[in-house]
Structure 1
Amino acid sequence: MESNQTHTITIHFRQENRTISLEIPEGESILRYFEEKGETLPFSCRNGCCTTCAVKVISGSMDQSDGIGLSKQMQDNGYGLLCVAKVNGPLEVVTQEEDEVYELQFGKYLGSIKNKAGNPFDM
């Protein structure tokens, strides 16, 4: 059963120092809806795999069950990916820098990898 309810989605696009708010129907793709209204937001893969479209939730929540680019721990800490996020209620988020989120998620693991044969890219 589809809901006719709409929710206010507010995105603080910090890279462009602006804030955008739209009323979006429940269940809609956030990134796609903003694009349809002429608002360009950061993204790359559109599959929930990278962190280009990562946001930090200020208030509210989103359905991001289709994404695999953020660990459960990152999601529990309030991070989300706009490209796979769907509206499930009012939401306010702030965009993040891709490298910042990538480092939060993978930095501690990448720094601990020891390759006894050396880095193959050094050859």
Structure 2
Amino acid sequence: MTKSHKIKIYDCQAGTEYTLQVPDDRYILHFAENQGVKLPFSCRNGACTTCAVRVKSGKIYQPEAVGLSQELRNQGYALLCVSYARSDLEVETQNEDEVYELQFGRYFAKGKVRFGLPLDED
């Protein structure tokens, strides 16, 4: 039996807030878009961090969020494009660059990737 949950989304970049009743068998982003809500997104596959949110309260289920480490999920981050509500939720959008840096920054700590030559040779 499908249940719906009250989802409050604060879009920090746009300074807007939305409240929706989202069925627990629908991706939150997709449902919000069908209701006319415009939120940040890019890949729609859970691989990037454009639609990242921070869960302020409630439970979210995101088995396909390959763009977020388990560590970031444990810290309350979620990707709306592949997330299902499991309770009433309050979430806020995040700065994509900050989340990307948290997720992938350790791999780029040595600076810009250059092809063909080692970094100390030009």
Q: Give the counterpart letter for 2:118 in structure 1.
A: G
Match of 1:111 in 2: 109
Match of 2:70 in 1: 72
2:10 and 2:81 map into 1 onto residues whose CA distance is: 16
Offset, 1:106: 1.8
2:59 and 2:41 map into 1 onto residues whose CA distance is: 19
Uncovered stretches (5+) of structure 1, i.e. residues with no partner: none
CA distances 1:10-49 after superposition (whole Å, capped 9, x unpaired): 1100010011010111221100100000001100000000
Q: Give the counterpart letter for 2:53 in structure 1.
A: V
- In the alignment, structure 1 residue 6 sits paired with structure 2 residue 4: yes
Offset, 1:108: 2.6
RMSD across aligned positions (CA): 2.2
TM-score by length of 2: 0.88
Consecutive aligned runs of 4 or more in structure 1 exceeding 6 Å deviation: none
Number of residue pairs aligned between Structure 1 and Structure 2: 119
2:88 and 2:104 map into 1 onto residues whose CA distance is: 30
Offset, 1:52: 0.3
Q: Give the counterpart letter for 2:73 in structure 1.
A: Q
Paired-residue identity, %: 45
Uncovered stretches (5+) of structure 2, i.e. residues with no partner: none
Match of 2:81 in 1: 83
